[in-house]
Structure 1
Amino acid sequence: MLTILKKEISGFFNSMVAYVTIIFFLVITGLFLWVFPESSILDYGYAGLDSLFYIAPYVFMFLIPAITMRSFAEEKKEGTFELLTTQPVTDWQIILGKFGAGLFLVVFSLLPTLVYYFSVYELGATPGNLDSGAVIGSYIGLLLLGCAFASIGIFSSSITNNQIVAFIVAVFICFIAFSGFESISSIASLGYLDSSILNMGINAHYQSISRGVLDTRDLIYFLSFSALFLAATKTVLSTRKW
């Protein structure tokens, strides 16, 4: 699995995909955090990174599918997946290696945003007047969100040999999983079912963790969600006829 992980990470950085997606993420979040007046920290009147953690999930909906779309689709298109399966590795090792590489790039994309944290920490009228607990919770929430979206991207890439199709399918599923259930619960008059539908979506659990409270139910949700799509990927690979 480590060999596949290293191979995938090397493949990302030997192409423009990693650099373009990471720069895209940093530019978009930077604009919302410092430039756009509706969300700029400089116009907030208080020190906080709310804008970053609000916009980041929506950027992730495009960033992570762009990273993972090549995982299996490119292998199948070029006919190299059959060669990979002849190596002494299991399907799970292949899946987890590619999943780990995608997650590595998510973490790599988030690391530069720590500059935002230290900037806001020092720029406040009272240096250090920042809710660090909520910030840490929000970063953990983004990492768990990255796991969920990466598992969706890996699954989407496994069902097609076209990277563009894999990207579109992954973006669609990510959007439905993150915002779809919230929209349904807000427009449907289902009484006590509203909260149940809301809790089926990712956003409710992401918001919970972002408040700085690490509830085991939220952790179990994200881990189960990621495991579900990785298991679905395993099912697709088990029935391959390429």
Structure 2
Amino acid sequence: MYAVFKRELFSFLSSMVAYITIGVFLLVSGLLLWFFPDTSLLDYGYADLAGFFSLVPYLFMFLIPAITMRSFAEERREGTYELLITRPITVWQIVIAKYLSSLLLVLFSLIPTIIYYYSISKLGFPEGNIDTGAVIGSYIGLFLLGAAFTSIGLFASALTKNQVIAFVICAALCAFAFLGFDYSSQLISLQNIEGLISGLGINQHYNSISRGVLDTRDLIYFITFSVLFLLFTKLVIGGKR
């Protein structure tokens, strides 16, 4: 399992795709947070990173599909998939190894953004006037959101050997999981069960954690969501095997 994890991680880091993908994510988030007037933290007037944490989920809808689209699709396209599944490890171990390597890359993408917290803390009046607890909770929420999106990305990559198709499927599923249930709950015919429908979506649980409140129900939701899509991936890979 470790060999698959290491191979997956270093194969991605040895290509320019990794640095371009992460670089574009950091560049776009930096431009949105510091330069564009409609989303600039400098124009917000408060020492708060709420704008950043509300923007990143939408950037994740492009970053994570770019990271995960090659996981199984490239293996099948290059013909190395048959070699992988004949190794003396289970399908579940292969899925977990690829999942952890992709999730580690998502974590690598988030680490440089800590400089935003440091910058806002220094710019605050008085210096350090920022809700650190809320920031920590929001980062935990982002990590859990990344874990959920990564499980979707692995499932999408297992469905096809075309990386572009895997990217599109993942982006569409992530967008629906994050926003689709909220929009569905607003339909007139579903108003009586609006809370139930919106509770199935990621957005409500992500916003709850972003407020700095670590509710066990939200943690269980994200863990269950990720495990469910990893199970779907295992079923797809097991069937192809």
Partner of 1:191: 191
State the SS of the aligned residue for 2:12.
Answer: helix
Cα distance in structure 2, aligned partners of 1:154 and 1:178 = 17
Partner of 1:210: 210
Partner of 1:223: 223
Q: 1:33-69 deviations in whole A, cap 9, x for unaligned? A: 1111112111111101112101100000010011000
Q: 1:87-118 deviations in whole A, cap 9, x for unaligned? A: 11111111011100110011000000000001
Cα distance in structure 1, aligned partners of 2:145 and 2:21 = 17
Cα distance in structure 2, aligned partners of 1:12 and 1:56 = 22
Cα distance in structure 2, aligned partners of 1:98 and 1:153 = 11
Report the residue type matching 1:187 in the other structure: L
Cα distance in structure 2, aligned partners of 1:174 and 1:191 = 24
Cα distance in structure 2, aligned partners of 1:173 and 1:107 = 21
Q: 1:154-206 deviations in whole A, cap 9, x for unaligned? A: 00000111111101000000000000011111233533300111111000000
Cα distance in structure 1, aligned partners of 2:192 and 2:17 = 45
Cα distance in structure 1, aligned partners of 2:75 and 2:225 = 25
* TM-score relative to the length of structure 1: 0.97
Sequence identity, in percent?
Answer: 57
* TM-score relative to the length of structure 2: 0.98
Gaps (5+ residues) in structure 1?
none
Report the residue type matching 1:25 in the other structure: F
Q: 1:122-158 deviations in whole A, cap 9, x for unaligned? A: 1111111101111111100000001100000000000
The alignment yields a C-alpha RMSD, in angstroms, of 1.0
Q: Is the 8 A contact 2:185 2:191 kept in 1?
A: no
Report the residue type matching 1:112 in the other structure: P
Runs of 4+ in 1 over 2 A off after TM superposition: 186-192
Partner of 1:90: 90
Q: Is the 8 A contact 2:39 2:51 kept in 1?
A: yes
Gaps (5+ residues) in structure 2?
none
Cα distance in structure 2, aligned partners of 1:132 and 1:185 = 33
